[in-house]
Amino acid sequence: MLTNIKKIIRKRSGLLITSGIITAAILSFYAGTFFQSASPTPPPPNPRLQSLQAVPALPVPIHVKKRVKRGDTIINLLKNEGLDHATAFQFFMEIKPVYNLKNISAGKTFQLTLSADKSRVEKFIYHIDLDQYLETVALKNVTSVSNDTAATPQAPRFNSRIVTIPYQVKKEFIHADIQESLFAAILKTGEKAELADLMASLFEYDVDFNRDIRKDDSFAIMVEKMYLNDRFVRYGNIIAAEFTNQGNTIKLIRYTDPEGNTAYYHPDGRSVRKMFLRCPLPFMRVTSGYGNRRHPVLGFSARHYGTDFAAPIGTKVRATASGSVVSAGYDAQKGRFVIIQHNNRYATNYYHLSGIKKGIKRGIKVEQSQLIGYVGNTGLSTGAHLHYGMKKNGRFINPMRLNSPSQSPVSHKYMAAFKQHAASAFLLLSGSRLLETPAPLLPAMPGLF
């Protein structure tokens, strides 16, 4: 009995083991199938993607925007950006009939686009002045003429033109009372400081903006404002202006006669421009006047044949009148100096300069307001200043007391038309003080502008 029971147990244990082995095999098979099917299968290759990846990247042009520096030439500027001398010179010669790039000047900007390998110019823009720029674009698919046809001109490689900037010009009225200075009053109206410079340059023959300005002086002007894409860019011409200084009102009007001559005049036809500027510096402080004084270096009393104006070293010095340079150089007492002869009767002296403008030398003709040098502290001097002297018929006079004569007035034959033009402009200007109406909404005056 016991023996039979043992046989049955062994038989059933064998079945269980066999069953376990079979179950494990089945699970192992399905598990392998599951994980094999779950592993990612790489997608088939995309011929279109492969063809795109095979295309090399397009060469990227090189863009440059820089400002011309003193001493730069167009050839050197192009060579500095990677062009060889021959290519740069060829570019210069081809553009020359449209604009001579020899005339580029310091401070102006240019934009240059070169090919990726820097072998050629694709585009070039040079800002000639505030109103126009040179634009040069490389022509496409231009083939060079072979050397066998030397008599045949080479095909042009560039299309060049001078472009006038398409400003929108608006005439606007601006007026204010002065509490501190002209600059402060201009800024308070929301305008730019450049407008104060424009006004000062017009009134500098009649007003000393350093010493004559008083609280509650006032001004009113009609000025052109230049816009590009509805964004203000700069000021144009002042059309008419009134400046009241210490109760005295000075009026100026811009007028172009039928012959095309444009200038600024007073309402009676006298030219605003006079033979001499009041001062060779735009803004200054008098530190020593004309006459007897104790010399600051030598220590004894002596006659001072001129006026000293304190100003920072490097301040621009202008010729106060047109004339010819009779002497320019260095002297132990005068320092660096320039002497200009005017109209055979007057001569002006400019001493203690830190530098003389390049090209200013004996025999050179200069125009009124032209830059001739820079304020310095050279020679027998105790500080940065300009000594300004004047001679009349060979004898020194006080330049600050000179009653400078006006230049050419309005021609008599155009006087009637001028006065009508001036009356209309000043009527609008006077009305602008009373009305806050924008300029475009004011009634148009027949024949004005």
Which amino acid does the sequence have at 194?
A: E
What is the chain's length? 449
How high is the pLDDT of residue 53?
A: 55
- Give the residue from 110, 117, 119 showing the smallest Cα distance to 86: 119
Higher pLDDT, 402 or 67: 67
Q: What percent of the chain has pLDDT over 90?
A: 49
- Which CA distances in Å does 355 have to 81, 112, 219, 336, 360? 32, 34, 37, 7, 11
What's the pLDDT band for 155 if we cut at 50, 70, 90?
Answer: low
d(CA 345, CA 391): 8
Residue 13 pLDDT > 60: no
Which amino acid does the sequence have at 142?
A: V
d(CA 78, CA 91): 9
> What tokens were used for 218?
């006032």
135 SS3 class: strand
Domains detected in the chain: 62-142+154-164 (3.10.450.350), 169-273+409-441 (3.10.450.350), 285-401 (2.70.70.10)
- Give the residue from 113, 111, 103 showing the smallest Cα distance to 73: 103
Write the DSSP assignment of 58-106 as a string of letters: PPPPEEEEEE--TT--HHHHHHHTT--HHHHHHHHHHHTTT--GGG--T
pLDDT in tens, 82-98: 999 999 999 999 999 99
How high is the pLDDT of residue 277?
A: 86
d(CA 201, CA 80): 39
Which amino acid does the sequence have at 148?
A: D
Within 10 angstroms of residue 160's Cβ, the number of other Cβ atoms is 16
Q: Which burial class, exposed, middle or buried, applies to 60 when counting CB atoms under 10 A from its CB (0-12, 13-18, 19+)?
A: exposed
How high is the pLDDT of residue 401?
A: 77
- Point out which residues pair with 231 in neighbouring strands: 228
- Which CA distances in Å does 304 have to 129, 284, 342? 43, 19, 22
**Computed from CA positions of residues 256, 258, 260, 265, in that sequence, does the dihedral angle turn out positive or negative?**
negative
d(CA 368, CA 277): 8
Cβ contact 335:353 at 8 Å = yes
| Eight-class DSSP state of 146 | P
Cβ contact 238:198 at 8 Å = yes
How high is the pLDDT of residue 48?
A: 58
What's the pLDDT band for 406 if we cut at 50, 70, 90?
Answer: confident
Cβ contact 366:323 at 8 Å = yes
> What tokens were used for 70?
């003193």
Write the DSSP assignment of 326-379 as a string of letters: EEEEEETTTEEEEEEEETTTEEEEEEEEEEE-TT--TT-EE-TT-EEEEEB--S
- Give the residue from 275, 284, 214 showing the smallest Cα distance to 248: 214
- Give the residue from 160, 184, 51, 64 showing the smallest Cα distance to 113: 64
Residue 2 pLDDT > 50: no
Q: Which of 101-105, 153-157, 178-182 has the lowest mean pLDDT?
A: 153-157
d(CA 315, CA 384): 10
Mean pLDDT in residue range 15-31: 50
Residue 293 pLDDT > 50: no
Give φ, ψ of 11 to 5 degrees. -65, -45
**Computed from CA positions of residues 370, 372, 375, 381, in that sequence, does the dihedral angle turn out positive or negative?**
negative
**Computed from CA positions of residues 216, 219, 220, 223, in that sequence, does the dihedral angle turn out positive or negative?**
negative
Rg (CA), the chain: 40
What ranges in 139-215 are assigned the alpha helix state H? Answer: 182-188, 193-203
| 272-275, Cβ contacts within 8 angstroms, sequence gap of 24 or more | 272/202, 272/205, 272/206, 272/406, 273/205, 273/368, 273/406, 273/407, 274/205, 274/404, 274/405, 274/406, 274/407, 275/321, 275/342, 275/343, 275/346, 275/404, 275/405, 275/406, 275/407
pLDDT in tens, 205-225: 888 777 778 899 999 999 999
* Core vs surface per residue 373-411: b (16+ CB within 10 A) or e: bbbbebbbbeebbbbbbbbeeeebbebeebebeeeeebe
Is the pTM higher than 0.85? The answer reads no
pLDDT in tens, 324-379: 999 999 999 899 999 999 987 899 999 999 999 999 999 999 999 999 999 999 99
